[in-house]
Structure 1
């Protein structure tokens, strides 16, 4: 009788997933000599798939500088920023807009919706700017509107929406190109506590359900419990 040799089963990897966002000793200073102002002291942070990280701190603490660097909108004075495996600090200014369109989604404090576009048009504009397929963009927009409970608002203009609805549209727009990294700048600032939690819950669901990474800059302590990790920033120094 021939013996059957069993092949060893592969052992599941215990290695953590590679970070989608990696800030490596990044800093930002302005001016020279005695007039130098340090907006961000050397900071290191990794954000991995499925992780929503809050960066919390008072006004003027360096949150906006931090987020602008993380979103490849501002070049650091020193250090490296790696997004989706690419060193964006090594890229030219000419290539960064296309990179941001492909890999990043932004949710801003004021939603920044275009007043003369309908809800659906706000979403389809993003892939249009990226040169995407119009039919696929329309299908993606309809899917997101259904998921976020905005299907009945598709033909409305921003002026006819509540603050919470406008922020949900902003989230949907940020997700249109299926970005690896979502960056949210004070997304609850103009909302009451109930609507603010709804917005952050939607972000968390997208991050956890689709394996994305997200960084939310906020001073709203009411929503910190919804985040996987909270990092403090004080006087331009990242702690935690």
Structure 2
């Protein structure tokens, strides 16, 4: 059988022929009122579909963290709608949001935030174990993710035996443990040098394509933007593509 090659243009057409996993519709965030009102995010609209890694690029204090917190159901917008896998998350109650995040979202933070007394495998299986899920299945899933990210030989190691790049790859694996529809990465290369930063973003991009996930990465690191499918700039709380 002859493999069918898909051109980059055809792939883009396929992506944009599907409904967005994340849709921000005229979303804004302000603090205070009257003359003391501060606008952290001006009305913004953005769609991200499965198979896409979208970078939100901008300087410190530009509104990147506000944007990511709203997209990740950690902060409610002042106005607008945030739709994730068809659910308007602005309509969910505070009690409903944690379960929604656990089922649909995966987070990769600026610092890997690994627990120092847990091995690499245990970092991944902790949440499934606390949730009462099957331990054997969770361990098998963790080992598969670690293999795919080139960390199989580090499964029994503790964080202090890992390099910075390896720690961030463990953080990516941990974010994928719940098979999320949407991955949100907050400055994942901030504590890494150029080579390790590219390695981490390459791994993230590969997992987005392999698992057909949607992903948003906020970053001020312009050295990795070429690895992303789209780059959206944010300056003073205003998005522009």
Same fold (TM over 0.5): yes
What per-residue deviation string (whole Å, max 9, x for no partner) do you get for residues 31-79 of structure 1? 0111110000000000001000000000000000000000000000001
Q: Confirm or deny: 8 A CA contact 1:126 1:173 kept in the other structure.
A: no
The answer on 1:88 being equivalent to 2:89 is: yes
> Does residue 210 in structure 1 map to residue 221 in structure 2?
no
Paired positions, count: 228
Q: Secondary structure at the match of 2:75?
A: coil
- Work out whether 1:140 is the aligned partner of 2:141: yes
Query: Alpha carbon RMSD of aligned pairs, Å?
Result: 1.3
Distance of 2:57 and 2:148 partners within structure 1: 28
Measured after TM superposition, the shift of residue 236 of structure 1 is: 0.3
Of 120-129 and 95-104, the range deviating more from structure 2:
120-129
**1:110-189 matches, cutoff 5 A:** 110-189=111-190
- Looking at structure 1, the residues matched to 159 and 151 of structure 2 have their Cα atoms a distance apart, in angstroms, of 12
Question: Is the Cα contact below 8 Å between 1:102 and 1:130 reproduced in 2?
Answer: no
Q: Does 1:108 align with 2:109?
A: yes
**1:102-140 per-position Cα deviation (integer Å, ceiling 9, x unaligned):** 100000011111111111110001223444322211110
**Largest Rg, 1 or 2:** 1
How many Å apart are 1:231 and its aligned residue?
Answer: 0.2
State the Cα distance separating 1:85 from its structure 2 match. Answer: 1.1
How far did 1:27 drift?
A: 0.5
Q: Deviations over 1:157-206 (max 9, x none)?
A: 11111100100000000000110000000001111111111100111111
TM-score of the superposed pair, with normalisation by structure 1: 0.92
SS of structure 2 residue aligned to 1:40: strand
2:81 aligned counterpart, secondary structure: strand
Q: Secondary structure at the match of 2:126?
A: helix
User: Normalization by structure 2: what TM-score?
Assistant: 0.92
Q: Which runs of 5+ in 2 are unaligned?
A: 1-12
Distance 1:233 1:105 in 2: 22
Q: How does 1:37-48 map to 2 (within 5 A)?
A: 37-48=38-49
Q: Hey, what's the Cα distance between the residues in 1 that align with 2:83 and 2:126?
A: 27
**3-state SS of the aligned residue for 2:129?**
helix
Structure 1 SS opposite 2:27:
strand
- Is this contact kept in 2: 1:54–1:216, CA < 8 A? yes
Deviation, 1:237, is: 0.4
- Structure 1 residue runs without a partner (length 5+): 1-12
SS of residue in 1 equivalent to 2:223:
helix
Shift of 1:153: 1.1
